[in-house]
Structure 1
Amino acid sequence: MRIIRYIVLVFALVLWIGGLSSTVSHWLYTVGVIVDDYRYGDLYRISALSQFKDVQPVCSPSNRASDTASAHLYIIGDSFSEEQRIGREDFRVSYYKRVKWDFPKRIQLDTTKRNVLILETVERHFREHFAQPVDDLIVEKDTTLTPASKRSWWQWLNEDFHRSDVEERLASTLFSQDWAFWFKELKASITLNWFDRASAGVSLSRDYRNIFLDFDTDTTRKKLSSFVDFPDVEARMLVDSINSTADRYRKLGFDEVYLSIIPNKASILEPNRGQYNHLIERIQHDPLLRVKTIDVYSSFKAARQSPYLKGDTHWNCMGRSLWLDAVHKQADL
């Protein structure tokens, strides 16, 4: 009996540490103790509404990459350009580097190549990304002059353990299996059918056929929703910020800089939900904008089918293909 108690205690301790540590959590994923709780979509994960449960597809890569291509591509991007969605194989390039917003990386440019930079952002975060100077790619002529310092064990430990989001990580660790989703679905169904309420993190379309991130529709969340005021003076300031960012990166050695704003799901599937601010169109068509844009808003609006996953904020394979087609056409990559 004592052995059983010790086994249970050790197992619980491992799960608890997995909720705190990225390294332990990754190991638990590897051995199959916990599974990806985003596998049916991030909006399903938040809402647990079974009608939006959808296995995430694996989209076919474009297979355009070539070691002899003359272009090097760099992307400063958010979750739409993460490695599970976009990769080097989707572009006709010989080198590819993607960095996440607010996580600066040092790079060197090969001046014998065509260096291209894409500034990719989802609509909801566009205003915050360009409200300050963009410096997520730090271009250096010779990184050997200022080598990156090695992390101390204390720095590694501080980065590996996440105390701020421990509750969410523990929930993912403990309740990521299908049996837990069944209970969550039951509770969510009762709450919606009996009280006409969904999770606080999402909102449903008026016909209940689509689900959105609450940030995209809640007008009390300033500068995130598609339906909050977007004054001309702020639009002009952001255009100036984009121009300044592009000018600086060109001086640092980039041959071309492009802007790509990915529409919020609600902006495409339910634009009449409120007073849509038309942020993307106003920025892309501003006469003072000196940066070429990779326009996917127009093709998303014209699409006969939804370019978004049913239970996720991100695009489906068709939406992904539309974006890549726009990149290939505009930037010739």
Structure 2
Amino acid sequence: MRFLRYIVLVIALVLWAGGLSSTVSHWLYSVGVIVDDYRYGDLYRISALPQFKDHQPVCPPSNRASDTSSTHLYIIGDSFSEEQRISRDDFRVSHYQRVKWGFSQRAQLDPTKRNVLLLETVERHFREHFAQPVNELVVEKDTNQAPSAMVSWRRRLKEDYHRSDVEERLASTLFSHDWAFWLKEVKAALTLSWFNRASTGVSLSRDHKNIFLDFDTDTTRKKLSSFAKLPDTEVNTLVDSLNSIADRYRRLGFDDVYLSIIPNKATILEPNRGAYNHLIERVQNSPKLRVKTVNIYTPYKEASQVPYLKGDTHWNCAGRSLWLDAVREQLSL
């Protein structure tokens, strides 16, 4: 009996460590204890509504990377440009570096190359990203001098340890398998059928054919929703901020700076849900804007097929292809 208690204690400690540590959770993934709970879509993961359960596709690779290209591409971006969606192989470039919003990376520019910076953001986070200085990409003259081992060790530990979201990570560790999703589906389907209510965190279109992130539709979230009020004064402030950010990165050595705002799913699939604030158009068409833009709003509005995944906030392969085509054309990649 004591031996059994020790086994249970060890299992509990390992699972708890998986909730705290990325290293441990990755190991648990590799041995099959945890499975990817985003595999059917992030919106399905939140809602557990079976009609939006959708396997995440593997989009065909572009295979365009070139060691002989004269262009070096740098991206400051969000989840749309994560490695599983976008990579160097999608562009004809000889160097590619991406940093996530809210993090920091160093970069050393090659003055003999064309250095291009792409600021990529989903619509819901545009207002918060550009209401403050953008310092995610730190341009240095010499990055060959590595930081001390102590600094590197502390940074790795900080990135590996996740105390703030341990509850969510533990839930993923314990309830990521199909049997757990089935139980959640039953509860979610009954709640929607009996009370016409979906899980907190998502919202359904009026015809219940589409699912959105609640941030995109809830107008009480003033900086996030597509339908929250956006005064002209704020648009002008954001444009001024963009111009200032682009000017600073040009002074640091970039030849070109581009902006790409990816529309919220609700913006494209249910624009009449409320009074759309037209953030993307108002920023991109501002006469004061001195930053080149990659316009994906218009191609998405005119697309013959839905550019988003059924149970996810992100694009499908068709939507991804439209964005890549727009980026390549505008950036000459």
Partner Cα distance (2:123, 2:261) in 1 = 6
Partner Cα distance (1:84, 1:158) in 2 = 23
C-alpha change, 1:25 and 1:141, in structure 2 (3 Å) is: same
Structure 2: runs of 5+ lacking an equivalent: none
Alignment of 1:1-333 (within 5 A): 1-144=1-144, 147-151=146-150, 156-333=156-333
Q: What is the Cα-based RMSD across aligned positions, in Å?
A: 1.2
Q: Per-residue deviation at 1:20?
A: 1.1
Partner Cα distance (1:71, 1:157) in 2 = 34
Partner Cα distance (2:155, 2:311) in 1 = 37
Partner Cα distance (1:43, 1:160) in 2 = 25
**1:204-240 deviation line (CA, Å, top 9, x unaligned):** 0000000000000000111100000010000001111
Whichever residue aligns with residue 16 of structure 1, its letter is W
Partner Cα distance (2:32, 2:208) in 1 = 35
Give the secondary-structure state (helix, strand or coil) at the position aligned to 1:181: helix
Partner Cα distance (1:311, 1:296) in 2 = 21
Give the secondary-structure state (helix, strand or coil) at the position aligned to 1:209: coil
* Structure 1 runs (4+) greater than 4 angstroms displaced: 152-156
Q: Per-residue deviation at 1:155?
A: 5.5
What TM-score, normalized by structure 2, do the two folds share? 0.97
Whichever residue aligns with residue 42 of structure 2, its letter is D
Q: Per-residue deviation at 1:305?
A: 1.3
Q: Per-residue deviation at 1:144?
A: 4.4
Q: Per-residue deviation at 1:2?
A: 3.6
C-alpha change, 1:158 and 1:107, in structure 2 (3 Å) is: closer
Partner Cα distance (1:36, 1:209) in 2 = 25
**1:74-111 deviation line (CA, Å, top 9, x unaligned):** 00000000000000000000110000012111110011
Q: Per-residue deviation at 1:6?
A: 2.5
Aligned residues: 332
What percent of counterpart residues are identical?
Answer: 77
Q: Per-residue deviation at 1:164?
A: 0.9
Which sits farther off after the overlay, 219-228 or 134-143? 134-143
Structure 1: runs of 5+ lacking an equivalent: none
What TM-score, normalized by structure 1, do the two folds share? 0.97
C-alpha change, 1:154 and 1:249, in structure 2 (3 Å) is: closer
Q: Per-residue deviation at 1:22?
A: 1.1
Q: Per-residue deviation at 1:178?
A: 0.4
Q: Per-residue deviation at 1:290?
A: 0.8
Partner Cα distance (1:155, 1:88) in 2 = 25
Partner Cα distance (2:91, 2:44) in 1 = 31
